């Protein structure tokens, strides 16, 4: 067992019509294959299949000691959202959509964010926080997210701001929300986007897409759909209400 150094690589299927092989195993279902540490991950893709490969330093994903391993995990609903989002980024790049350096940093953080739940499934479980320590950490997290000076919304940087381990942060979120950390933080960012759209301090020149990207939403169609589902109105309607007030 070694510390969380090295890299993790994940293969996400876009299409699996002819299947694909990972280290000799023939995959015909939409699974995710992850590799960590000094292991070889050999993949071959069927003629009508396609994959997205993502490689990230392990220390962006976990604080825990991490074994060298290759694991195959079933594709979850959260994985499908991540796949859709990654596909939209690739499509935007192919169509010449450029990102500022700040936006690129946000994208990198959000890709890591989306990978953390998969790594957690094969990471040895850390010693749990006590109930009072977990509640105290969760309250501090909520306060940090509400701080307009704190632009960071991804798990690792929030853990650094709060001076706790990534595993403790993830446990506190799970303990007090019943959601995966990625899901809860996405909803927190959605609420922050609404606050920005409705704020009288927001410049009249700001657009919905500007605000969406500020809070880490780069798939504008999905942002608009999620926003409407949670707030019963389109983000553009929130912006218009503020501009007409």
- For the stretch 181-222, pLDDT in tens is 888 888 888 998 998 898 877 777 788 988 888 887 877 888
User: What percent of the chain is predicted at pLDDT more than 70?
Assistant: 72
Buried/exposed code over 178-194 (b: 16+ C-beta within 10 A; e: otherwise): eebbbbbbbebbbebbb
Give the whole-angstrom CA distance, residue 34 versus residue 151.
30
Specify which residues 69 forms β-bridges with.
Answer: 36
Strands 25-27 and 69-74: unpaired
* Residue 153 structure tokens: 């919304």
Say what the pTM is.
0.59
* Domain positions in the chain: 7-120
pLDDT in tens, 53-77: 777 777 777 776 666 667 777 777 7
Query: Is residue 173 within 8 Å of residue 142, measured between CB atoms?
Result: no
Determine the pLDDT at residue 1.
Answer: 31
pLDDT in tens, 226-240: 999 999 999 999 988
CA separation (Å) from 46 to 29, 52, 71, 73, 91? 13, 14, 20, 20, 22
Between residues 198 and 112, the one the model is more confident about: 198
């Amino acid at each position: 067992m070694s510390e969380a150094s090295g890299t993790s690589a994940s293969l996400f299927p876009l299409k699996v019509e002819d299947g694909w092989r990972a280290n000799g195993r023939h995959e015909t279902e939409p699974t995710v294959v992850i590799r960590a540490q000094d292991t070889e991950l050999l993949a071959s893709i069927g003629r009508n299949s396609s994959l997205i490969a993502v490689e990230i330093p392990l220390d962006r994903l976990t604080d825990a000691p991490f074994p060298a391993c290759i694991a195959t995990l079933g594709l979850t609903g959260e994985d499908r959202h991540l796949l859709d989002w990654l596909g939209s980024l690739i499509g935007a790049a192919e169509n010449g959509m450029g990102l500022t350096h700040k936006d690129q940093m946000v994208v990198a953080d959000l890709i890591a964010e989306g990978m953390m739940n998969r790594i957690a499934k094969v990471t040895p479980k850390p010693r749990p926080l006590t109930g009072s320590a977990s509640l105290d950490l969760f309250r501090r997290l909520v306060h940090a997210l509400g701080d307009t000076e704190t632009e960071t919304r991804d798990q690792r940087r929030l853990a650094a701001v709060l001076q706790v381990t990534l595993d403790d942060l993830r446990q506190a979120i799970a303990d007090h929300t019943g959601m995966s950390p990625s899901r809860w933080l996405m909803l927190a960012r959605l609420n922050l986007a609404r606050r920005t759209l409705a704020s009288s301090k927001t410049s009249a020149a700001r657009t919905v897409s500007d605000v969406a990207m500020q809070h880490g939403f780069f798939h504008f169609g999905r942002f608009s759909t999620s926003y409407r589902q949670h707030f019963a109105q389109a983000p553009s309607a929130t912006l218009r209400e503020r501009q007409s007030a």
